[in-house]
Amino acid sequence: MRILLIEDEPAIARTIERGLSAHGHQLLLAESGEDGLLFLETETVALVLLDIMLPGMDGHETLAQIRRLRADLPVIMLTARDDLGSKVGALDAGADDYITKPFAFEELLARVRSLTRRADQKQASTLEFGNLRIDLLSHRVWRDDVPVDLSRREFALLEYFARHPGHLLSRQQILSAVWEYDFEGESNVVDVYVRYLRTKLDRPGEPSLLTTVRGSGYRFDPPGP
Ligand code: CA
């Protein structure tokens, strides 16, 4: 599994990296919240370990930004102090769990396991981004708890976007994933269906969930909480 560690202390980062890779995980290391967010925009990450005391943007601010990008991404905060305030603060800010440094590595592993198990179960049945909820089993969609009625193809297109939040997807990629054939030549079928989805999902006065990237394709920008 791919884990992003946002931690500025090299000794701690090395220890965590050694331990996690010994258990078959791949670690991406960012030394600041800003760098961590860049990774999240470009890499596939299954879980984040986030230090609170960071240079520049601190852990709480970083967490708020992570939540804006990926509402459902499991985040464990690393708190240096054993003080209740910072733990409660971490959970209030949307962390899934926290662990106090120094910690036994087995404890960290156990928390990683438990969170990813939960995430897997959730991932299997629903995708959630702020006020947009997609049930992959029943093929139902809600915006602000209001059901949105989608055709089979519209749902497939939305699901494809939702599985690649923030990624630029070309028309060709979308065609072969959602229409399942390699379409040669000109077709505006993707544009037509994107328009259907916008009509059904977007809210007046707010930016569209589906951004047109001129000359390239489309990008799904998840709504905020
Ligand atoms: Ca630190």
DSSP string, 133-160: EEETTTTEEEETTEEE---HHHHHHHHH
Confidence of residue 175 (pLDDT cuts 50, 70, 90): confident
| Å from CA of 50 to ligand 1 middle | 9
**Same domain membership, residue 100 and residue 139:** no
**Same domain membership, residue 104 and residue 132:** no
| Å from CA of 13 to ligand 1 middle | 10
* Predicted pLDDT at 71: 80
- 161 belongs to a structural domain: yes
| Å from CA of 86 to ligand 1 middle | 14
* Predicted pLDDT at 5: 97
| Å from CA of 94 to ligand 1 middle | 19
Residues 166-176 have a mean pLDDT of 87
| Å from CA of 58 to ligand 1 middle | 9
Confidence of residue 17 (pLDDT cuts 50, 70, 90): very high
| Å from CA of 145 to ligand 1 middle | 39
**Same domain membership, residue 157 and residue 101:** no
**How does the average pLDDT of the chain come out, rounded?**
88
**Same domain membership, residue 24 and residue 65:** yes
Domain count, the chain: 2
**Same domain membership, residue 140 and residue 85:** no
**Same domain membership, residue 111 and residue 197:** no
| Å from CA of 117 to ligand 1 middle | 27
**Same domain membership, residue 41 and residue 104:** yes
The pLDDT of residue 121 is above 80: no
Q: Is the separation of the CB atoms in 19 and 105 below 8 Å?
A: yes
pLDDT tens profile 32-83: 999 999 999 888 899 999 999 899 999 999 999 998 888 889 999 998 766 6
- 54 belongs to a structural domain: yes
Could you identify the residue written with the tokens 């992959």? 136
Residues 137-151 have a mean pLDDT of 93
Out of 66, 101, 120, a domain closes at 120
DSSP H helices in 176-224: 189-201
Q: Provide φ and ψ at 36, rounded to 5°.
A: -60, -40
| Å from CA of 52 to ligand 1 middle | 6
Q: Supply the CATH number for residue 84's domain.
A: 3.40.50.2300
Out of 72, 102, 120, a domain closes at 120
- 132 belongs to a structural domain: yes
- 225 belongs to a structural domain: no
Question: What is the span of the domain harbouring residue 68?
Answer: 2-120
| Å from CA of 55 to ligand 1 middle | 7
| Å from CA of 90 to ligand 1 middle | 15
The pLDDT of residue 185 is above 70: no
- 100 belongs to a structural domain: yes
Out of 120, 138, 157, a domain closes at 120
The pLDDT of residue 107 is above 80: yes
* Predicted pLDDT at 50: 96
For the chain, give the percent of residues with pLDDT over 70: 92
pTM: 0.56
- 150 belongs to a structural domain: yes
- 38 belongs to a structural domain: yes
| Å from CA of 1 to ligand 1 middle | 24
* Predicted pLDDT at 83: 63
**Same domain membership, residue 143 and residue 86:** no
Q: Supply the CATH number for residue 195's domain.
A: 1.10.10.10
Residues 81-106 have a mean pLDDT of 78
* Predicted pLDDT at 153: 93
**Ligand 1 is an ion; residues with CB less than 5 A from it:** 8, 51, 53
Name which residue leads in pLDDT, 133 or 90: 133
Confidence of residue 118 (pLDDT cuts 50, 70, 90): confident
| Å from CA of 78 to ligand 1 middle | 9
Q: Provide φ and ψ at 189, rounded to 5°.
A: -60, -35
| Å from CA of 74 to ligand 1 middle | 20
- 72 belongs to a structural domain: yes
**Same domain membership, residue 22 and residue 87:** yes
Q: How far, in Å, are 43, 136, 179 from residue 176 at the CA level?
A: 22, 20, 6
**Same domain membership, residue 107 and residue 204:** no
| Å from CA of 15 to ligand 1 middle | 14
